[in-house]
Amino acid sequence: MKKVALVTGGSRGIGYGIVKQLALSGFDIAMNGVRHFDDVMGIVDEIKMLDVDVIYCRGNIAVATDREKIVQEIKNHFGQLNVLVNNAGIAPKQRNDILSTTEESYDEVMDTNLKGTYFLTQLAANYFIEQKNINANFNGCIINVSSISAIVASVNRGEYCISKAGIGMLTQLFAVRLGEYKIPVYEVRPGVIATDMTAGVKEKYDALIAQGLCIQNRWGQADDVGKAVTALADGFFPYSTGQIIMVDGGLTISRL
């Protein structure tokens, strides 16, 4: 029986790159997003062509009832879950200086990026433990996709940076708590990745990359993140729970 992976925010951008690489590695996929079914059926069909089973679990992870519905749909369809990839995240609707950020923007970003991720991880972790108690050979893991913004300050989107920094502690907390069950928890931190989220700042980062922003002189691609996530999901880092995998082309290496 194939392993099952849930990828939140899996229908576009980095999430889709992760879904594709996991499918290529033989995982059945539960793809989560907020778009209407009609808008993602083409994407679902593309992944099914890779000879895996795929379901689309529509829901907003910031909403408790949606989180519960997502997990229940996976239980009903697959009867198991092996990998949770917490990829869903939003940027502020407006990039405001931290001296003028609104509480509304802060709450919206934190509810999705951190609160939603925390409580979806809680649900999945309890389901993993339930499966482990039934089958001692059960293998599962949790992979949190954060950002270099966890450690690189952007004063015009402080709420986003704080949410991603929080994912770092969330990763460590669940790594510690799930250690007794041999369920590893990892964090992947992408750098500047070419997606619809970064399309609006393409010219800015084209120039910065040309000037040497990254050691590897190119934009990151969604597949770059997908390959890192898949290596973790495939169990190639069994003794590295709680650790961070940087996928940033060397951007965060201090240089003189």
Q: Is 203 exposed, middle or buried (0-12, 13-18, 19+ CB in 10 A)?
A: exposed
Cβ atoms of 148 and 252 closer than 8 Å: yes
Residue 121's pLDDT is 98
Q: Can you give the pLDDT at residue 198?
A: 85
- Kindly list the catalytic residues: 160
Q: Residue 187 phi/psi, 5° resolution?
A: -130, 135
Q: Where are the domains of the chain?
A: 4-247
pLDDT at position 9 is 97
What per-residue confidence (pLDDT) applies to 245? 98
Q: Are 56 and 48 in contact (CB under 8 A)?
A: no
Cβ–Cβ under 8 Å, residues 41 and 68: no
Q: Rounded to an integer, what distance in angstroms lies between the CA atom of residue 212 and that of residue 82? A: 39
- Residue in the block written with tokens 């500047």: 192
Per-residue confidence in pLDDT tens, the chain, 256 aa: 899 999 999 999 999 999 999 999 999 999 999 999 999 999 999 999 999 999 999 999 999 999 999 999 999 999 999 999 999 999 999 999 999 999 999 999 999 999 999 999 999 999 999 999 999 999 999 999 999 999 999 999 999 999 999 999 999 999 999 999 999 999 999 999 999 878 888 999 999 999 999 999 999 999 999 999 999 999 999 999 999 999 999 999 999 8
Q: How far apart are CA 235 and CA 250, in angstroms?
A: 24
pLDDT for 201 = 85
H runs (alpha helix) in 178-221: 202-210
Tokens of residue 185, six digits = 């928890």
Confirm if 81 and 6 have CB atoms less than 8 A apart: yes
Distance CA 150, CA 144 (A): 12
Query: Domain 4-247 falls in which CATH fold?
Result: Rossmann fold (3.40.50)
User: What's the CA angle centered on 144, arms 142 and 149, to 5 degrees?
Assistant: 165
The pTM for the full model equals 0.97
